[in-house]
Amino acid sequence: MDFKLCLPIIVALRNPYLRQRHWEDIQSYIGRFFTKEDNFTLGNLLDIKILQQSGLIGDISTTATNEATLESILYKVIDLWRSTDFRLITHQSDTSTVKIIASADDVMAQLEESQTTIMSIKASRYAEPIKYLIDEWERKLNQFSHTLEEWVMCQKRWLYLEPIFSAGGIQSSQRRPRCSCRWINHGRRS
């Protein structure tokens, strides 16, 4: 027996990324059940004629590695968002002090990069085992994107209109005030 022929299978079976589903696939394809315990030897592999399935086992091992790589990339995106600080700064005007979003451009750039990464992961043929997590984070990032865009637009409008509505003469100049400026006070409290 030429043990050089066994080496690729041994390397493939020692892949640390092989999960239970991969072992079940291997056992299903070779038609034999085996346990991967400490006393499992090369002789046991030869007894179940595993050399005949070397290409298939190599493919399953490669699939396991690619799935693990995608999962690692996805968890980097998740960890990035779990550790991202959403900073607010104090905005002071003549009549009020409120908190506004700081560095929205940085957050938006990070968001776009994360969404692109998620789309790339989702497009991979190795994404199936983590599809539920990919879909969940795609939804979360899309919802956050929409919320952030609306928030930034509202903030810009408020910063533009705040001096106008804060001016003392605006309400006294109107015979019947058409605008209740209570929303300005609400902005101060939030």
Reported as a single tens digit per residue, the pLDDT across 14-59 is: 899 999 999 999 888 888 787 777 677 777 777 777 777 888 999 9
CB 99 within 8 A of CB 91: yes
* 162, 184 Cβ separation under 8 angstroms: yes
CA distance 8 to 14: 10
Identify the CATH class of 87-189: mainly alpha
What value does the mean pLDDT of the chain take?
85
Distance of alpha carbon 183 from its chain centroid, rounded? 35
Taking the domains of the chain in order of start, what are their residue ranges? 1-83, 87-189
- Three-state DSSP at 88 gives strand
Per-residue model confidence as pLDDT tens digits over 50-102 = 777 888 999 999 999 999 999 999 999 999 999 998 888 888 877 778 888 88
Classify 41 as helix, strand or coil. Answer: coil
Q: Pull the structure tokens for residue 105.
A: 């451009």
